Amino acid sequence: MNLKKPQVLQKIKMALEEDIGTGDLTTESLIDSGQISQGIIKVKEEGVVAGLEVVELVFSTLDNEIEFEACVDEGARVRAGGKIAEISGATASLLTAERVALNFLQRMSGIATTTRKFSDLVADFEVRIVDTRKTTPGLRILEKAAVRLGGGFNHRQGLYDAVMIKDNHLAAVASLGAAVDKVRNNVSHTVKIEVEAETLEQVEEALRAKADIIMLDNMEVNLMKEAVELINGRAIVEASGGINASTVVDVAKTGVDIISVGALTHSSNSLDISFDLVGSDNNGKTA
């Protein structure tokens, strides 16, 4: 997934600390320190797997002697009941880390599954499905990685890596054209400038200002098609605003280049995934 490990490890450590606190009362009271177990992770519904690398990091962060083996690739489609990973090591460590590991895995796999659904729907069109900044606070790097594993693409990572002049920016400045000019004078020539447009008049103004990307925000499909024809290749065209699985094909048919879908990250259901111990050895006894 090419995740920045220090950043991900920080989130994993925070999640473990949040869950474990001063100690796992149940496990510490029940499980002998020398007990070793094997476990499997399996999916309980069809979907796309994302986050196995994160799961491995969760277990190894708690106990670096735990052995983890993925049974499928990241981004793989899986059927209900399929085994996706095997884990072995100290029983106490497996039990203590399992919920944090599953929380990450279920969330990321749910996002990847939703993204794959959208990507499949528009597979016949030359258009990209992309995410937005509508992510869970603190989990953006993981949720955006899940989008990529589901076949989608990432929009900007944050406010720092791209310019997007939105309606509230325009409400605070003299005009759309003035906003583009002012930004262009303050950012590097390597940075693309995106402008949000809700009307054909704003599209025309964005074209006169030579915006690099024009976002058609909450436009009806027929109006969006007119806007695409008006732009006529002079800027990258992005469609955004309330797009769902029942409307995304009609949006793709308008000829836009990019379709951004906030629902990929803010409304995806977590995939149902379980972890089960399948064998234990405590002083030579197997259960």
Catalytic annotation, residues: 99, 134, 166, 196, 217
Extract the annotated binding site for substrate.
99, 132-134, 156, 166, 196, 217, 240-242, 261-263
Q: How far apart are CA 122 and CA 248, in angstroms?
A: 7
